[in-house]
């Protein structure tokens, strides 16, 4: 019998998850059906209940329901607890197992697809929302020389830095600061985890943050050369990436969790990549 999975969100039409998981199922010979589910705001639990009752095996969760899924789960993995949000669920009996694969997807993309090791390097992450929160522990586990979190709303950056210091297993220096602190600083890896690229805006960062040989990575995907990547390019950065690899890698983690087989992501990344130049 075909096992059923879905992605839930609002809006959901834009989601690439059905395309990605259907491609994964084909390359790994798995018999699954993967659909999109639109839930009304405030109606997350009812839609998930109905999907489970009809035999659904698991779900990906996208905006704005990652916190609803956190509340809905019966068993939260450490990644979901740390992120404070859930992006994948597995249904077994009365249990709802919950994970957050965004952070591990980002780090896997950096290390394996972009050949960008983090150990001993200076890493800057812009933004202090859900994506940054989920990425903190996977980033710190790679033991960079330092991790600086910079955000427009300073208090959020400070809170995340404190959280990261408390939970990391390594002893990487972590600071949470405002944009003014970036004057005179340069980093080997600069990650834009703000949502500024969705509205074609540029966070107020000086061009000098990009050290020679730097990788500039925008977690937003499918927007081509965003203002952040354009600034990096104009500052002489040649290694530019967007979040399409992160999207594919977090999906592959969920697929492996559900099906016990990790698909190769190369063809999906090629399929979804929109050239940056
Ligand atoms: P949140 O809404 O949780 O956080 C948004 C963050 O962006 C906040 O820190 C906010 O600052 C900051 N911000 C928004 N606009 C600006 C601006 N113009 N200048 C400076 N800072 C700004 O979003 P998420 O963390 O969930 O997502 C962030 C981005 O990452 C999104 O673009 C999303 O698409 C992408 N993403 C990509 C994934 C992938 O698989 N590739 C997975 C998850 C997310 P403040 O706190 O001051 O408001």
Q: Which of 16, 66, 95, 223 is catalytic?
A: 66
What residue spans of the chain are helical by DSSP H?
A: 17-28, 44-53, 66-72, 78-83, 102-108, 130-141, 154-167, 227-234, 244-259, 266-272
Q: Taking residues 128-135, what's their average pLDDT? A: 94
pTM of the predicted model as reported, rounded to 2 decimal places: 0.96
Catalytic residue flag (residue 36): no
Contact 23, 268 (CB under 8 A): yes
Q: Please, what is the average pLDDT of the chain?
A: 97
* 199: its two tokens: 């509205």
Q: What percent of the chain has pLDDT over 70?
A: 100
Q: How confident is the model at residue 174 (pLDDT cuts 50, 70, 90)?
A: very high
User: What pLDDT is recorded for position 110?
Assistant: 98
Q: How confident is the model at residue 68 (pLDDT cuts 50, 70, 90)?
A: very high
| Mutation test residue for ligand 1: of 193, 223, 250, the one with most atoms within 8 Å of CB | 193
Q: Taking residues 211-220, what's their average pLDDT? A: 98
pLDDT at 74 over 90: yes
Of 129-133, 187-191, 237-241, least confident by mean pLDDT is 129-133
- Give 1-53 pLDDT, tens digit per residue: 899 999 999 999 999 999 999 999 999 999 999 999 999 999 999 999 999 99
β-strand pairing of 3-9 with 32-38: parallel
Q: Taking residues 222-243, what's their average pLDDT? A: 97
Rounded Cα distance, 61 and 110, in Å: 23
Cα(192) to centroid of ligand 1, in Å?
8
Q: How confident is the model at residue 277 (pLDDT cuts 50, 70, 90)?
A: confident
| Mutation test residue for ligand 1: of 195, 201, 203, the one with most atoms within 8 Å of CB | 195
CA-proximal residue: ligand 1, atom 6 (nearest) = 194
- Give 185-210 pLDDT, tens digit per residue: 999 999 999 999 999 999 999 999 99
Pocket of ligand 1 (CB under 6 A): 102, 127-132, 151-153, 156, 193-198, 201, 203, 219-221, 243, 246-247, 250
Rounded Cα distance, 7 and 15, in Å: 8
User: What pLDDT is recorded for position 125?
Assistant: 98
Half-sphere exposure of 84 toward its Cβ, with a 13 Å CA cutoff? Answer: 10
pLDDT at 92 over 90: yes
- Give 99-128 pLDDT, tens digit per residue: 999 999 999 999 999 999 999 999 999 999
Contact 213, 182 (CB under 8 A): no
Q: Which atom of ligand 1 is nearest to the CA of 127?
A: 9
Q: What percent of the chain has pLDDT over 90?
A: 97
Rounded Cα distance, 228 and 110, in Å: 18
Q: How confident is the model at residue 225 (pLDDT cuts 50, 70, 90)?
A: very high
């Amino acid at each position: 019998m075909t096992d059923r999975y879905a992605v839930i969100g609002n809006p959901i039409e834009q989601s690439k998850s059905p395309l990605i998981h259907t491609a994964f199922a084909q390359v790994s010979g798995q018999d699954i059906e993967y659909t999109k589910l639109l839930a009304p705001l405030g109606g997350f639990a009812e839609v998930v209940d109905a999907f489970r009752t009809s035999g659904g095996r698991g779900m990906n969760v996208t905006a704005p329901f990652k916190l609803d899924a956190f509340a809905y789960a019966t068993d939260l993995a450490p990644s979901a607890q740390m992120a404070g949000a859930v992006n994948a669920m597995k249904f077994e009996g009365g249990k709802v197992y919950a994970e957050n694969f965004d952070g591990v997807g980002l780090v896997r993309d950096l290390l394996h697809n972009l050949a960008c090791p983090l150990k001993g390097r200076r890493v800057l992450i812009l933004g202090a929302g859900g994506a940054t929160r989920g990425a903190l522990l996977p980033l710190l586990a790679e033991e960079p020389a330092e991790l600086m979190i910079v955000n427009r709303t300073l208090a959020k950056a400070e809170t995340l830095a404190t959280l990261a210091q408390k939970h990391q297993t390594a002893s990487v220096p972590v600071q949470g600061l405002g944009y003014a602190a970036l004057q005179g600083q340069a980093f080997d890896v600069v990650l834009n985890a703000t949502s500024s690229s969705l509205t074609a805006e540029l966070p107020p960062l000086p061009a000098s943050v990009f050290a020679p040989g730097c990788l500039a990575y925008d977690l937003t995907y499918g927007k081509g050369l965003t203002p952040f990547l354009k600034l990096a390019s104009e500052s002489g950065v040649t290694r530019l990436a967007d979040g399409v690899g992160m999207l594919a890698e977090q999906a592959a983690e969920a697929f492996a969790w559900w099906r016990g087989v990790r698909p190769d992501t190369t063809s999906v990344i090629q399929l979804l990549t929109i050239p940056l130049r």
